[in-house]
Amino acid sequence: MSISALSRKVSSLGLPASLRRFISWLTSAKVILSLIMLVLMFYLVLVPLYRMVATTITYQDKDLFRVPDAQVGALTLFHYARMFLSNMAKPYLYNPFQHSVIISIGATILALVIGGMLAWLCIRTDMPGRIIITQLAVLPYIMPGWTIAQAWTVLFKSRITGGIPGVFEYFVGQSPPAWLSYGPVPIIISSALHYYTFFFLFITAALMSIDSSLEEAGDLMGANRSRILRKITFPLVMPAILSGIIMTFSKVMGTYGGPALLGVPVKYYTVSTMIRSAIGIGDKADAFVLAITLILFSMVLISINQKVVGTRRSYETIGGRGFMANKTKLKKWKGLLFGIVIVFQILVIVLPVGLLLSDTFMLRSGVYSLDNLTLHNWIGESVKTINNGSPGVLRNPKIYFYAWNTIKLSIWTALFTALLGVILGYVIVKGRGTRLSKLVEQLAFIPYVIPGIAFGAIYISMFSRQFGPIPPLYGTFALLVVVSVAKHIPYSSRTGVSSMLQVGRELEEAAQVAGANLWKRFKTIIFPLTSSGFVSGFLLTFITTMRELSLIILLVTPTTMVLATQTMRYKENGDDQLANAVIIILIVMITIGNFIIGKFRGGSLKKGLGM
């Protein structure tokens, strides 16, 4: 029985009017969709969060060894006391937190400087080659976030930390200083070189949208250039900078790859690597205390940002038309600056990939002689003495399986994310002003404030047993899809809302008046008109999911492994060259994917970031 038939039937029954009104409200298409979305958000976000908190405040099996009279499942603040107050607090919580904050602040500042300067050069000066520079600036973000970190180890491995010398040591003949090989400095640099894209995109968009008349007005009133920059331009760009700061900071706080590759070998733990190791030794509750602390920390930061910037809309309003102010003439610096920028970009993109690639062709890492060249890491048979007996990656059926997993995960995630984006956009925009719509919008925003590794941690506790109608998902491939889709909800709902706003409500209402039901309206009006948003949302989720690591590192099992997690596994086993070969495969796949994006009109990274 269709819903309208149902509501007709209901209205013919002798029910009281208030109940009939409630039922007709409940069965209206908009409300049904909103409720479905609410239930979905409830399952994807609130329930896992609740389960995680619940784990931290009850005794777990493992606690029986620590607390003699503990009863499994009984309420306790034991884990919080242990992580915050006991003598474990310093090495397990405070130190990692301090490290994470140092890294995040450092990476954010460095990324801001790089991204801001590039943006200014591209938008506000007459530097040549601005288009190619703009295109290249996006590439580091598309590559796996730990690419530079991994290449860094190839370059700066040193005997000080044990193991074989890196390229630097081979050519210079001297070990690089310890602070350069591992620890905060390389983590900061490698993260900043990945995340500066945020600042670049945010600031370029803000600079481009500043109506030149605003600055000209200041000019006419006799303000000089620096005054205009300080009093007019900078305040207008400020919200974009703040948004970039928060986004980068919270991403770095929750990032796993860099700290795992460059921190763990010298016992420089961050919150993310500590969470992983706590999970690894079975101390789930401890890991969750760390994750909750991390989540609260991010929430506070983001709410401060929103207080300062105003509402989230305030930076949407900047994204608009308006062009174009007088560009600064670089004169004789033109060529030099262009050269510096291009060399920098090549260093950031080509050098890491080159280092990783060259390393895969060596029998022994870091020995640059012809007889050391080999294809073993790619196509070699399994030999016990090399790579712990693993065959070359192209001869390893598991790698093909993981590559296929990677593609499968990306396609499913992208599909569900894009679909959810359209529906969420519809529900939020159509219900503007109602409490239901506001609730959906707020719930959809929650995953944004939860750093990647913590979000993955949440899902360990969720779905490990049957919950309601949902079967236990732990260890299944479906769980990876679910967590990836859930993490993308804030972005997809934002893209959905903005593409829905472009459609204009009258277009749908005209169809409504003409007698079209919800399905017909979606099929003939809403989907066709939001298809470009759908396609770009799909493609970009596809790319970003391919290289997702922090989110799923805690959730993969041998049968659900993807390429990203396999590089980490090889690294952990000390098979560096195989790890490098796998990341090269991943980069090739991403490059192909990115090429396909370029073929589609309307697909842009900016849209995928929900700008």
Partner 1 sequence: MSSTIIIKNLTKRFGKTIAVNGVNLTIEPGAFLTLLGPSGCGKTTLLRCVAGLEDPDGGEIYVGDKLVFSYPKGISLSPGKRELGMVFQNYALWPHMKVDKNITFALEIQKMGKEEMQKRVKDSLAEVKMEGYEDRYPREMSGGQQQRIALARMLAYRPKVFLMDEPLSNLDARLRMDMRAELKRLHFSSGATTIYVTHDQVEALTMSSSIAIMRDGVIQQMDTPDRIYHFPANLFIADFIGNPKVNLLDGVIDGKGSVNLGDFNLQIDIHNAFGSVVIAMRPEDITISTIQVPGSVEFSAYSVLPAGSETTIVAKRGNIELNVKEMGISKFKMDDKIWLNFDPDTLNLYDKETGNIIANI
Rounded least distance, CB 14 to partner 1, Å: 12
Q: Is 532 in the site for partner 1 (CB under 8 A)?
A: no
Single out the residue of 513, 558, 595, 601 in contact with partner 1 (rule: CB under 8 A).
513
The only residue of 9, 25, 74, 135 in contact with partner 1, by rule CB under 8 A? 25
Q: Which of 61, 126, 506, 572 binds partner 1 (CB under 8 A)?
A: 506
d(CA 76, CA 321): 56
Of 86, 217, 339, 509, the one binding partner 1 (CB under 8 A) is 509
Least Cβ distance, residue 528 to partner 1 (angstroms): 5
CA distances from 118 to 336, 349, 554 (A): 14, 15, 36
**Per-position DSSP letters for 505-517, written without gaps between them:** HHHHHHHHHTT--
Question: Which one of 476, 529, 535, 606 is in contact with partner 1 (CB under 8 A)?
Answer: 529
Task: Please pick, from the candidates 510, 588, 592, 596, the single residue that binds partner 1 as defined by CB under 8 A.
Answer: 510
**Helix H segments across 361-396?**
376-379
The answer to whether 528 contacts partner 1 (rule: CB under 8 A) is yes
List Cβ neighbours of 117 (8 Å cut-off, separation of 6 or more). Answer: none
Name the residue with tokens 């706080």.
Answer: 253
Among 326, 524, 559, 573, binds partner 1 (CB under 8 A): 524
For position 535 contacting partner 1 by CB under 8 A, the verdict is no
Distance set, CA 580 to CA 365, 368, 401 (Å): 11, 17, 18
Beta bridge pairs of residue 362: 373
Is 6 a binder of partner 1 (CB under 8 A)?
no
- Determine which helix (DSSP H) or strand (DSSP E) holds 571, and give its type and residue range: helix 563-572
Contact between 607 and 540 under an 8 Å Cβ cutoff? The reply is yes
Contacts of 132 (CB under 8 A, 6+ apart): none
Least distance between partner 1 and beta carbon 426 (Å)? 16
- The CA dihedral of 397, 398, 399, 400, to the nearest 10 degrees, is 50
Contacts to partner 1 from residues 85-114, by CB under 8 A: none
- Does residue 432 bind partner 1 (CB under 8 A)? no
**Contact status, residue 192 vs residue 106, Cβ threshold 8 Å:** yes
Q: How far is the CB of 35 from partner 1 (least distance, A)?
A: 17
Q: Which residue has the tokens 């606690």?
A: 63
Q: Where are the beta strands (DSSP E) in 79-198?
A: none
Q: Binding string to partner 1 for residues 476 to 505, with x set by CB under 8 A, is what? A: ----------------------------x-
d(CA 288, CA 274): 11
Residue 21 vs 364, nearer CB to partner 1: 21
Q: What's the token pair of residue 58? A: 């009850």
Angstrom distances, CA of residue 213 to CA of 220, 232, 323, 333: 10, 11, 9, 28
Binding to partner 1 by residue 433, rule CB under 8 A?
Answer: yes
Tokens representing 303 are 């709410």
Write down the least CB distance from residue 428 to partner 1, Å.
Answer: 17
- Per residue, the 3-state secondary structure of 242-259, as one string, reads HHHHHHHHHHHHCCCHHH
Report if residue 507 touches partner 1, rule: CB under 8 A: yes
| Cα-to-chain-centroid distance, residue 279 | 21
Single out the segment in contact with partner 1 by CB under 8 A; choices: 66-74, 175-183, 308-316, 508-516. 508-516
| Residue 438 near partner 1 by CB under 8 A | no
| Selected binder of partner 1 within 1, 5, 14, 18 (CB under 8 A) | 18
CA distance 530 to 446: 24
Determine, following the binding rule CB under 8 A, whether residue 14 of this chain makes contact with partner 1: no
The yes or no reply on residue 4 touching partner 1 (CB under 8 A) is yes
Distance in angstroms (rounded) separating the CA atoms of residues 21 and 25: 6
Rule CB under 8 A: say whether 21 interacts with partner 1. Answer: yes
* Binder among 9, 11, 519, 573 for partner 1 (CB under 8 A): 11
Supply the minimum distance, in Å, between the C-beta of residue 506 and partner 1: 4
What is the radius of gyration, based on Cα positions, of the chain?
A: 26
**Tokens for 575?**
């098979």
Q: Which of 131, 515, 558, 595 binds partner 1 (CB under 8 A)?
A: 515
**CB 40 to partner 1: min, Å:** 25
Contact between 568 and 260 under an 8 Å Cβ cutoff? The reply is yes
Is 13 a binding residue for partner 1 by CB under 8 A? The answer is: no
* CB closer to partner 1 out of 240 and 526: 526
What is the distance between the alpha carbons of residues 166 and 158, in angstroms, rounded to a whole number? 6
Q: Taking CB under 8 A as the rule, does residue 330 contact partner 1?
A: no
- The nearer residue to partner 1, 220 or 514, going by C-beta atoms, is 514
Contact predicate 356/151, CB 8 Å? yes
Which segment (17-25, 217-225, 466-474, 536-544) binds partner 1 by CB under 8 A? 17-25
Binding mask 146-185 for partner 1 (x = CB under 8 A): ----------------------------------------
Quick check: 26 binds partner 1 (CB under 8 A)?
no
Closest to 444 measured CA to CA, from 53, 44, 52:
44
**Contact with partner 1 (CB under 8 A) among 516, 535, 591, 606:** 516
Size of the site for partner 1 (CB under 8 A): 30
Q: Is 274 left (phi over 0), alpha (psi -120 to 50) or beta?
A: alpha
* Interacting residues toward partner 1 by CB under 8 A: 4, 11, 15, 17-21, 23-25, 28, 433, 504, 506-507, 509-517, 520, 524-525, 528-529
